[in-house]
Amino acid sequence: MKKAAKKRENTKKVHPKTYARTPRGLQLRFLDWLSGFNARLTDRQQSFLIRRPHRSFRRTYRRDYVRRLRIPGYVAFTHEVNRMLLQYRRVFIGLAIVYALTIAFVGGLTNQEVYGQISTLMKESSQELMKGGVGKISQAGILLAATVFGGGSDLSADQQIYLGLALMMVWLATVWLLREFMLGRKPTLRDGLYNSAAPLVSTLVVVFVLAIQLLPAGVVALAYAGLVSVGLATEGFGAMIFWVTAVLVAVLSLYWITSTLIAMVVVTLPGMYPFRALKAASDLVVGRRLRILYRWLWAVLVVVVSWLVIMVPTILLDSWLKDTWKQLDAIPIVPIGVAFLSAVTMVWFAAYVYLLYRKVVDDDAKPA
């Protein structure tokens, strides 16, 4: 009898609720859906609170929010990134060359005639203001800034799109190659270029989120240009109010992009969706966001110093060679150097972000 009763219980099927097609039935169906939606929303809220133990506008004591983050020091970790890239330098230098050639093919190189005009103008205007070795170095630095920030101003919309897609491909290829190398495999550059583009659409969604997070900083920059044109942000109380606002907006954007850069690596995992990657990256940086932000700022500092150390002597050498031999005026030495160094910078920064992400993941400390 007991077995028969169990058998009858097991064969019972749970059917979903059905409602009559009447106003009362539609009302009950809506209330049922609303109850289920509220239950799902409550579950998501409870899950979020468990993953994020800290509350807004409530004091959290240091003993409660400290989260371990075992990462080598700034210089030591930078050397680790450089060693990884040098160990597989043939592949990564090839990737940088491919990107530099793409920049040249698309038309991203600074026009040599424009560069020559800027250089001549700098020489004529700085004869009295900048004298001696320090003056020449300052002149080279200003010329470098004009070349880097003004080189892409004459690009069409199509060229900018092509360069952006090439930039995404370099990012994805670098992350894919590093993941394969750290798994003990030996991929080639061709493998990286052909096999790394699977998460391209997901990565573009994350990049779109990154652009939205940087939008407040862009709005502040436009506001600054407008206020300076009418003289409201040049001095006095107006300038103070503007710069306080600009600092607050910059802090907010930096706070957001700290986890989004991690998400650009997480989204390259097989089967990962963009908003799930953003959620996972936010969970990874909880309790240690500021320390990770310091790493991003350090990487930017390393890039800026490297550009100055490499490109300023290159510009001085280019100026000396073309003053000595006029036949070299048509050779775009500096634009080619800027394109190649841009490619190397992109590969290095992608490697820095990926290896830092691996350090954060390997340190599986839970939120406090």
Whole-angstrom distance, CA of residue 366 vs CA of residue 353: 21
- CA atoms 71, 72, 77, 80: torsion sign: negative
Residue 287, burial from CB neighbour count under 10 angstroms (0-12, 13-18, 19+): buried
Residue 61 lies in a domain: no
Percent over 90 (pLDDT), the chain: 32
Residue 327 lies in a domain: yes
State how many domains the chain has: 1
Residue 9 lies in a domain: no
pTM higher than 0.85, yes or no?
A: no
Tokens of 114: 């424009």
Percent over 70 (pLDDT), the chain: 72
Tokens of 29: 């169906």
| Residue 8 pLDDT > 60 | no
Whole-angstrom distance, CA of residue 32 vs CA of residue 30: 5
| Residue 219 pLDDT > 80 | yes
How far does CA 37 lie from the centroid of its chain? 35
| Residue 2 pLDDT > 50 | no
| Tens digit of each residue's pLDDT (9 = 90 or more) over 60-69 | 666 655 667 7
Question: What confidence score (pLDDT) does residue 145 get?
Answer: 66
Residue 339, burial from CB neighbour count under 10 angstroms (0-12, 13-18, 19+): buried
Residue 326 lies in a domain: yes
Residue 347 lies in a domain: yes
Residue 105, burial from CB neighbour count under 10 angstroms (0-12, 13-18, 19+): exposed
Question: What confidence score (pLDDT) does residue 1 get?
Answer: 43
Residue 124: left if φ>0, alpha if ψ -120 to 50, beta else—which one?
alpha
Question: What confidence score (pLDDT) does residue 241 get?
Answer: 80
| Tens digit of each residue's pLDDT (9 = 90 or more) over 230-273 | 777 677 777 788 788 888 888 888 888 999 999 999 999 988 99
Residue 112 lies in a domain: yes
Residue range(s) defining the domain that contains residue 317: 72-362
Residue 90 pLDDT grade (very low, low, confident, very high; cuts 50, 70, 90): very high
Yes or no: say if 54 and 60 are a contact pair by the CB < 8 Å rule. Answer: yes
Residue 99 lies in a domain: yes
Residue 210 lies in a domain: yes
